[in-house]
Structures are given as structure tokens and as C-alpha cells.
Structure 1
């Protein structure tokens, strides 16, 4: 979809639902696909679930996260610099972008059931075929840090979806969420360790996203 960029606040979910309702395919022959990008800690997953809850009143909606396409730790450990690869886990090169994009390309065909991996934060690895998008699903929100990147492979996503969204969140809120996430998931044992990780790789990834993402059709502003 093209046209002037729309700006909405994160509590204007009804406006987004109306937007989708006015655009999605009424005859049900194809799924309507939305990409939702944003930096780590922007609130993508929570927001996508809130939108999906309301969209489900119109048509069955599922959320597909990019997280299931993390490379396995064993794959990171086989890289030329495994220590750096593990430290930077969450950066674009630590995902299987080709597999992710190939799966997104299969979602359009509503007659096809699609299985996708999830990510287990306790195991710190993907869980294959843990998400099933059945033939009764009409709308899919594809959320992840890099779904609007201009980089090779990632850039293909924009041409595969019907609408592109980006959620923006104040940096201090992003940082506090990331710290809490690292503590809750056991990635860091102390707040000091979690803060160091947030200020290092996570905010480095955030800057990369802001500098290298396409302009989306919709900008969602957290308030």
C-alpha cells in the first residue's frame, strides 16, 4: 500500500482496526499481512497482541514473531568469532533471515497451513513448528525488530505484506523494559549486568534499526 504516512498513538487501536477492516480482502481468498517493526523494548509484541484481540472480532488474526528465527546457539558457536556472535545475539546477522522471509512469502496463500518456530527464552533457542497458522486465519501481524530493514533479504518483507507499521517508544522506557526483560529471562543475574547489556548490544541494535529501516505506511507513537 502507498500514500501519505499515517501517524497514530499507541492507544488509537480502533483507528488501526478500521484501517485494516477497510483494506483487507473481503472474499477471503488471501491472508492480509501486516509488518510491525520497532527497536528492542518498543512494545511490539504486547501491542501486536492488543491489536490482534480487536481484529479477531472481524476475522481470525494471529501474531507471528521474528524471534523464532534466531540462529541456534550451536550455530552461533560455529561462527568465526563465537564469543562476539553470542554477545551480539539479537543483531540482524544472528537470525536466519532467508528462512523467515521464505515463510512470510508462504503466508499470502490462505489455503496453505503454515508452521513456524517460536523462541524459548529459558532454553535460549527456537522451538520448531510451535506456531501453526491455519487456513482459518485471515490476518497475520508479523512483528520483529528487523521486518522493515533495508538490508539484503530483510528488504523483501515490505513487498510481501499489505501494510507496514513501525512503533516508536521513548528511549528511557525502552531501556527500562530491556533491563527488566534480561532479569526476568535470566539472561542477566544483576541489574548492573542487565544495564550493561542493554547499553551495549541492545541499544546498538536499536540505533541500527532507526538508521536502516524503511519509512513505513504507519508510525505508531507510544504515549
Structure 2
């Protein structure tokens, strides 16, 4: 069950993204509260596109590893449906155009892997997970290794706190839930535009901006309207 917010009020605790020490201390504290910390600890980090959740996840991961608490980050991106799979959807044109929306991810496979990571009978084995190659524009199977000695797994992605069927089951497994908010809409959009250009998703600033204001904005609105209340809000 998720780590309760301060004094069990249900109100998220707030941090700034530069409070990496405090955020990592929270996870360390949680590790002492969990009855069987021989099992893996799972922390979810959600947020809209461009919020900075990946940066927060990797910064906290680095801090915990420096303190000898073996931590890995598992991105949601590896669970995109392959382009070949999207081509077999009832409306393949829509699926390809909206790639990155919740329905274009294999949420069941994602949930199954997280359940496997959380299963105490698997705590002494390495588990492999897919990554996502932006050049190939498809997942790469078994590209991320969660080793047997990993104590903390930070799972980051846009949709890990959705209320939707299947997605909502992920938070039931997690020990803590975080939501990252960008400092401003301008900063968030600028990050997305630069990301699209760097990944080759768009060839011009105009195309990148159009995508950011189109499909990405639809996804962002959906996340805001349909996500569960987190234990922690990180202002980035």
C-alpha cells in the first residue's frame, strides 16, 4: 500500500525538484517502514509531457546509488506498441497519429512486468525490461536489466497514475506515488519542442511546436483530468 501523505491527511507533500537530498531521504525512510525490505521498493513518478519527471527520476536514482541503496529507473516508454502493431488497430491512422496517447501503450504488459518485479519470489533473480529507441521509433526488448540486488525501482511515465482500467492497478502495487509539475507552461512546451527535434520526431521548429500543441497537449490535458492524487508533488 502506498506511503501515506503527511499526517495521513491525503494532501500531497510538496518538494522542489532541487530538493534531491530530501526526496531521496523520503525513499530511505520508506525503506525502514516497509516490513520486508528484502523485497523491492517501487516508486511511481508521473507527470505531463515535458514536466521533467525523467530528470527528477534519474537525479533521485543517482543520489540513492551514491548512498549505497541500489536503485534503477524503469521508463514507461519501452511499452509503446510497435509501429507494426499500431498498423493492425481498428483505426491505424489514428493510432499512428496519436502515438504516445494511453491507448498506444501495452498497459497490460507494463502491469505484468511491474507485478513480476513486486513478486517476492522473484527478488533473487535479474529481470529484463524493454527500452525505447527513438531512432528506430520502436521498443528494444530486454534492454534494461533490473538486477537481483536492486532495492528501489523508480518507474517513470506520463500515465503511471491514471485512474483508467489496468493503469490504475499499477499504483496499487507501488509503495510511493509522485507527480512532477513544470514551473511554467512555456518551459514545458520548450522542453517538448527541443525533445522532438533531438529525437527526429519533427524536422523543423514549426513541426515540433505543432505536435507539442496538438497530440502532446491532448495527452497532457488527459493526464491532468484523469490522474489519481499522488503522495508527493514535485515542483520542477
TM range (shorter): over 0.9
> Where does structure 1 lack aligned partners over 5 or more consecutive residues?
none
Q: What is the SS of the residue equivalent to 1:68?
A: helix
User: Aligned ranges for residues 157-168 of structure 1 at < 5 Å?
Assistant: 157-168=170-181
1:123, 1:77 → 2: CA distance? Answer: 16
Q: 2:43 aligns with which of 21, 34, 37?
A: 34
1:97, 1:34 → 2: CA distance? Answer: 17
User: Aligned ranges for residues 60-99 of structure 1 at < 5 Å?
Assistant: 60-99=70-109
Instruction: State the partner residue of 1:209.
Output: 223
> Number of residue pairs matched?
222
2:18, 2:90 → 1: CA distance? Answer: 45
Q: 2:60 aligns with which of 23, 28, 51?
A: 51
Q: What is the SS of the residue equivalent to 2:44?
A: strand
Q: 2:196 aligns with which of 179, 182, 188?
A: 182
Q: 1:15 aligns with which of 19, 22, 33?
A: 22
Assess, with a 3 A threshold, how the Cα gap between structure 1 residues 202 and 182 changes in structure 2: closer, same or farther.
same
Superposed CA RMSD in Å reads 1.2
Scaled by the length of structure 2, the TM-score of the pair is 0.91
Q: What is the SS of the residue equivalent to 1:146?
A: coil
CA apart distance, 1:26? 7.9
Assess, with a 3 A threshold, how the Cα gap between structure 1 residues 213 and 27 changes in structure 2: closer, same or farther.
closer
2:155, 2:128 → 1: CA distance? Answer: 14
Instruction: List, as ranges, runs of 4+ consecutive aligned residues in structure 1 with deviation greater than 3 Å.
Output: 25-28
> Where does structure 2 lack aligned partners over 5 or more consecutive residues?
none
Instruction: State the partner residue of 1:138.
Output: 151
